[in-house]
Amino acid sequence: MNVLVIAEHENGEIKDLSLSAVSAGTELGKVNVLIAGHNCRPAAEKASKLRGVSQVLLADAPVYENWLAENLALLISSIAKNYTHLIMTATTVGKNIMPRVAAKLDVAQISDITQIQDNETFVRPIYAGNAMATVQSLDQIKVLTVRATAFEPISGHDDTSGIQLVSPTENVGVSAFIDQEVTKSERPELTSARIVISGGRGMQSGENFAMLEEIADKLGGAVGASRAAVDSGFVPNEYQVGQTGKVVAPDLYIAVGISGAIQHLAGMKDSKVIVAINKDEEAPIFQVADYGLVADLFEAVPSLSAELEN
Amino acid sequence: MKILVAVKRVVDYNVKVRVNLEGTAVETNNVKMSMNPFDEIAVEEGVRLKESGKCDELVAVSIGTSSSQETIRTALAMGADRGILVETDDPIEPLGVAKLLKVICSREKPDIVIVGKQAIDDDANQTGQMLAALLDWPQGTFASRINIENTKAQVTREVDVGLETIEINLPAVISTDLRLNEPRYASLPNIMKAKKKPIDIIPITELNIDIAPRVKVIKVSEPPKREAGVIVENVKELLEKLRNEAKVIS
Ligand SMILES: Cc1cc2nc3c(=O)[nH]c(=O)nc-3n(C[C@H](O)[C@H](O)[C@H](O)COP(=O)(O)OP(=O)(O)OC[C@H]3O[C@@H](n4cnc5c(N)ncnc54)[C@H](O)[C@@H]3O)c2cc1C
Ligand SMILES: Nc1ncnc2c1ncn2[C@@H]1O[C@H](COP(=O)(O)O)[C@@H](O)[C@H]1O
């Protein structure tokens, strides 16, 4: 099998989430990694040392700077013929680009796989994770996105593999990046944090999220939210955990003032330990919680924070 | 300007689905079906663009069984002008849907196609991107704001790091995210009016498109079940358990 993993990178580092895609790739065969971007040779050098990677392709040009799908899909599909599998992590970047690549190649894309059974058979959640589908690809080239929480990021090093330059494709020129609004935070990334504390509609306001941030900081964790909390404007969209937000599987997930709708559970039920704090003992979140605390969050959360001080 | 919206009939998001006895699919007999929630957002956006005078005609397209007419009627009651149903009894994969939508686009010549970012049954999140690729159009996925000026659209996208704004040339495909708008409920008079709006029904065979499945479903199974744990009395007990039993904090 010849596997191409398209890795996301930032400031010369391969993103942790993409290390999961490399790891999925090594289950299938020899992995090549494509690093596309502008001034991104340092990331290619990092990739060349990863365990299981036999070749790095570097496409370094201004057209790849902002991950515009039109340009990236053109590049990826132009080199796809050499591969049996094309893989990206199911981030918003991967989800944006890979279906476009698949359509250009006239093959299916298989989204968000959680398990690789053999070269052509994969398991993926459907219906918000209420069912797991085992599917077999009938296409020559398999285009996959992988769920990062289901594959341990690749670790360790190999002998340095070669870096091969790929000549850049033309600028398709139909799309342009304008700007980005990014919330700066010192906390770990939601999708790779070991501890996540999330708030829901029960939090009542954005200001009240400060209580959760305090606990996150004491535990070295990240803060997440339910859709209702994002829709109500308490926190920005990138906090949303769930079927249509981010999928997390930390060692510890604390759900505060979250009812536990199926769409929310879809994004966190693979966490190792789940804690729920909710004043309604009937809340469905308690059906998946290892430890439930039936309490008013406005008493329980400050007291939790105070106890952590000791 | 003409806008096409794609609307899929799916199991209602409130239904707790069950895997069928044969383990081949999810049970869809006698369960409530609705328009895919992201498609309601797509229709709403189209209707708003009509109301603002930017769109002259809004066409709702669905691919599915004859019952998908109900889904199209919902779109018509919300404010779409007419509907197109590509009728088939077989489930069609995103690539097939994209190919069929491409044919509809070549007939209808829309300036913008708005789709949902994800159908909540297959959770694929592919069709819009695939359609854009097949048409060789730009794509603005996961939109939380759309601003149309002449021959371009500025699309603010919900991405993992926050929000990102891009500018794309028209014609283009746009996919909706949750915060784009809040879809309206159709009023009774509009539901009545929608009954008179036309729906063009095209048998899938008439379009002569290769929609053969590329992915074979081997089986569908229940996910591993998570057992409920214990209820603790207070914060002290909770911390004691987390430290000494679960050992997830120190
Ligand atoms: C297409 C679609 C996609 C969706 N995607 C997602 C998704 O990705 N992620 C997601 O989270 N949701 C998603 N949802 C929404 C989901 O269905 C629920 O509506 C949402 O998760 C509810 O959020 P919540 O639990 O914060 O709010 P609610 O359901 O309103 O629950 C609030 C909870 O807070 C508790 N509470 C209130 N006050 C207090 C207090 N003082 N102390 C303690 N407890 C208190 C209440 O008892 C209640 O259980 C989606 C829905 C649709 C239709
Ligand atoms: N059978 C269908 N009929 C109409 N629209 C569809 C169909 N399948 C997918 N779509 C559109 O494509 C979007 C994304 O679907 P998917 O790629 O399956 O997650 C949906 O929100 C719809 O707008």
Task: Spell out the domains of chain B, with CATH numbers in brackets.
Answer: 2-224 (3.40.50.620)
* Mean pLDDT value across residues A68-97: 98
pLDDT value of position B40: 98
For chain A positions 269-288, those within 8 Å of chain B (CB to CB) are 269, 272-275, 281, 286-288
For chain B positions 51-90, those within 8 Å of chain A (CB to CB) are none
Partner-chain residue, chosen from B122, B131, B139, that has the shortest CB–CB distance to A69: B139
Please, which residues bridge with residue A165 across strands? Answer: A58
Ligand 1 centroid distance, CA of A285 (Å)? 10
Give A309's pLDDT tier (boundaries 50, 70, 90). confident
**Is the predicted pLDDT of residue A160 greater than 90, yes or no?**
no
* Mean pLDDT value across residues A164-169: 96
**Is the predicted pLDDT of residue A62 greater than 70, yes or no?**
yes
Give me B35's structure tokens: 């328009």
Lateral strand order in the sheet of A131-137: A115-118, A121-126, A131-137, B215-221
CB-based contact (8 Å) between A262 and chain B? yes
CB contact under 8 A, B17 and A269: no
Q: What angle do CA A286, A291, A294 make, to 5 degrees?
A: 60
Partner-chain residue, chosen from B129, B177, B215, that has the shortest CB–CB distance to A110: B215
Classify the phi-psi angles of A118: left when phi > 0, otherwise alpha if psi is within -120 to 50, otherwise beta.
Answer: beta
Helical residues (DSSP H) of chain B, grouped into ranges: 37-51, 68-78, 94-108, 127-135, 188-194, 235-240
**Is the predicted pLDDT of residue A193 greater than 70, yes or no?**
yes
Give A156's pLDDT tier (boundaries 50, 70, 90). confident
The Cα–Cα gap between A147 and A114 comes to: 6
| Cβ–Cβ under 8 Å, residues A264 and A130 | no
| Cβ–Cβ under 8 Å, residues A302 and A282 | no
CB-based contact (8 Å) between A148 and chain B? no
* Mean pLDDT value across residues A149-174: 93
Nearest to A262 by CA among A231, A229, A226: A226
The Cα–Cα gap between A72 and A101 comes to: 8
| Cβ–Cβ under 8 Å, residues A178 and A209 | no
Q: How far away is chain A from the Cα of B60, in angstroms, using its nearest Cα?
A: 23
pLDDT value of position A310: 66
CB-based contact (8 Å) between B249 and chain A? yes
**Using a 6 Å cutoff on CB, does residue B8 contact ligand 2?**
yes
Average pLDDT, chain A: 97
The Cα–Cα gap between B191 and B55 comes to: 21
**Is the predicted pLDDT of residue A106 greater than 70, yes or no?**
yes
The H or E element containing residue A275 is strand A273-278
Residues of chain B with pLDDT under 50: none
For chain B positions 186-225, those within 8 Å of chain A (CB to CB) are 213-223
- Angle between helical axes of A209-219 and A297-309 (0-180°, round to 10): 30
The Cα–Cα gap between B162 and B157 comes to: 8
CB contact under 8 A, A135 and B216: yes
